[in-house]
A = this chain, B = another copy of it.
Amino acid sequence: MQRTNFSEMACSIARTLDVVGEPWSPLILRDVYVGFSRFEQIQADLGISRKVLTERLNHLVEQGVLDRRPYDHRPRYEYVLTEKGTELVDLLMVMVGWGDRWLAGEAGPPVLYRHHACGEISSVDLRCAHCGEPMHAADVDVLAGPGSAA
């Protein structure tokens, strides 16, 4: 829960946090991504309070990250990732990569990814969209952009 509203900051990190930075939101997206698309499923899987789950789902739908759609001709709904939401899964995959490396311990990673293109169990790596070489913290200069406040 962030009481301070980050969305006015001239910072894409802050703005992204305003969309998915609240407690539970990334885990809800993970659940939807792996196929838990209904209220009861997500609630049971995460053990989240129903009240908070309602709030988070509403927020994620408002932000265009999830789509709420009826099924079964009853007052029943399921949640699916929009394109905007699907691209957020990138963020989850990087979180998994870091967590696997630094926090998984003896037991090893809880989840594995098999890459369709090569068929191997693999993980994500950050590359420059322009030249394809690795692009991490030490590989860039940070410059003011057109949308900077100053």
Chain B residue nearest to A88 (CB atoms) is B98
Distance in angstroms between the alpha carbons of A116 and B143 in the assembled complex: 13
Whether B12 contacts A24 by the Cβ 8 Å rule is no
Which residues of A in the span 65-117 have a Cβ within 8 Å of any Cβ on B?
81, 84, 86-105, 107-117
Whether A92 contacts B139 by the Cβ 8 Å rule is no
Determine if A54 is an interface residue (Cβ-Cβ < 8 Å). Answer: no
Whether A137 contacts B98 by the Cβ 8 Å rule is no
Copies in the complex: 2
Distance in angstroms between the alpha carbons of A21 and B87 in the assembled complex: 19
Which residues of A in the span 11-27 have a Cβ within 8 Å of any Cβ on B?
11-17, 19, 21, 23-24, 26-27
Which residues of A in the span 98-150 have a Cβ within 8 Å of any Cβ on B?
98-105, 107-118, 120-149
Chain B residue nearest to A139 (CB atoms) is B116
- Residues in chain B near residue A13, CB distance under 8 A: 26-27, 30, 92, 95-96, 99
- Residues in chain B near residue A24, CB distance under 8 A: 2, 4
Distance in angstroms between the alpha carbons of A83 and B90 in the assembled complex: 22
- Residues in chain B near residue A101, CB distance under 8 A: 87
Offer 14 A-B interface pairs, CB within 8 angstroms, sorted by A.
A11-B30, A12-B97, A13-B99, A15-B99, A91-B94, A107-B146, A108-B145, A108-B146, A109-B145, A113-B140, A113-B143, A116-B140, A124-B129, A125-B128
